[in-house]
Structure 1
Amino acid sequence: MAAMIEGIEAKARALFEDYSRRSNALHDAEHADIDALADVFAGHFVGASPLGVMGGAKDDTFAAVMRQGFGNYRAMGGTRFEIVTIEVDVLDGFHAMVRADWEFDYVRPGDGAAGTIAFRNLYFVSFAEGEPRIFAWITPDEAQAMKDHGLA
């Protein structure tokens, strides 16, 4: 049992280390691999924030929506988008919850002011199909944090 838990924890941690690396690379639109980033998500997913709950399917539009989102981060002056801490709780033989502490560095386009926004997301990961896939997440009010920093 301990070996199984360690294996799930290691795979979840590796998933988020890769997710962080790929997310951070998206500040360079020319070299971004959005398809590989989209591949970390399950075929169906749910997300929750203070703005509400949404769900959907990873269909043909999913990567394009992600590309647009990262384009918005670049337009706001984003220079780094990286996970700095990963905590994994193995829930059972097929699921884990991951706490990911993100940092978003920016240089504001209007005045050149630089800053960092730190936030924690919770993710739920399934191993049911063999490879870990994110099927749910809970985020803080990211839009408000961007406004508070003069980015939106």
Structure 2
Amino acid sequence: MVAPHVLKSTALAFLNSLALMPNTTTEDPVRFDMQAIRAVRAPNYSHTFGHNFFVSQSPPLQGTSDLDGFMERVGKMTLKLESETKEVLSVAVDAGERSAVARVAYQMKAPGQQPVENDLIWWLWMDNKGTKVEKSVEFVDPAATKELQNRMNASASAAPKYL
């Protein structure tokens, strides 16, 4: 059995890998440390979203992403964010299942808009050593997700158009 502190450390590394790099803006083509993202995920990593009804009504959240698909999705979204901060509120570990559940409050801000708090639950399953995440399910706040999308769309509409 993997020690609980190893699983918690891996869960925190997973969450921290999703932080925007300092001194980047929506003009930068890459805003995450892609090596840090890959470092804590297994080659067979897969990602899905929950809650089922909300996901069934939100085509961009449907299906399963592999590591490259996950990185592409996250990369595209961050190009629409002016800033993002997070606070890890709690992490619960199940050593027998090699899993961890984390509640994280993200403050996500589209350019020219007020931040939206997206209160997420991440459910993570680790490999046999407990040092890589093999599978994640991300439970997003449906109301916050829709509001953030509206604000990102409003920011995109207000952006200057160049010929």
TM-score band w.r.t. shorter chain: 0.5 to 0.7
- 1:5 — aligned with what? 4
**1:32–1:96 CA distance, 2 compared to 1 (3 A):** closer
- 2:110 — aligned with what? 106
2: CA distance between counterparts of 1:12 and 1:121? 14
1:14 aligns with 2:13: yes
Alpha-carbon distance, 1:88 to partner: 0.7
TM-score by length of structure 1 reads 0.67
- 1:146 — aligned with what? 148
- 2:132 — aligned with what? 132
Structure 2's unaligned 5+ residue stretches are 57-61, 155-163
Superposition RMSD in Å: 3.2
1:55 aligns with 2:64: yes
Residue identity matched to 2:151: H
1: CA distance between counterparts of 2:89 and 2:134? 14
Alpha-carbon distance, 1:118 to partner: 0.9
**1:150–1:7 CA distance, 2 compared to 1 (3 A):** closer
- 1:92 — aligned with what? 95
**1:32–1:99 CA distance, 2 compared to 1 (3 A):** closer
- 2:158 — aligned with what? none
- 2:157 — aligned with what? none
Corresponding residue pairs, total: 137
Work out whether residues 110 and 148 of structure 2, in 8 Å CA contact, stay in contact via their aligned partners in 1: no
Q: 1:70 aligns with which of 75, 84, 93?
A: 75
Alpha-carbon distance, 1:39 to partner: 4.3
Give the number of the structure whose residues are more often strand, by fraction: 1
2: CA distance between counterparts of 1:14 and 1:34? 13
Identical-pair percentage: 11
Alpha-carbon distance, 1:90 to partner: 0.6
Structure 1's unaligned 5+ residue stretches are 108-112
Residue identity matched to 1:11: T
Residue identity matched to 1:87: S
2: CA distance between counterparts of 1:80 and 1:145? 16
**1:116–1:30 CA distance, 2 compared to 1 (3 A):** same
Work out whether residues 44 and 55 of structure 1, in 8 Å CA contact, stay in contact via their aligned partners in 2: no
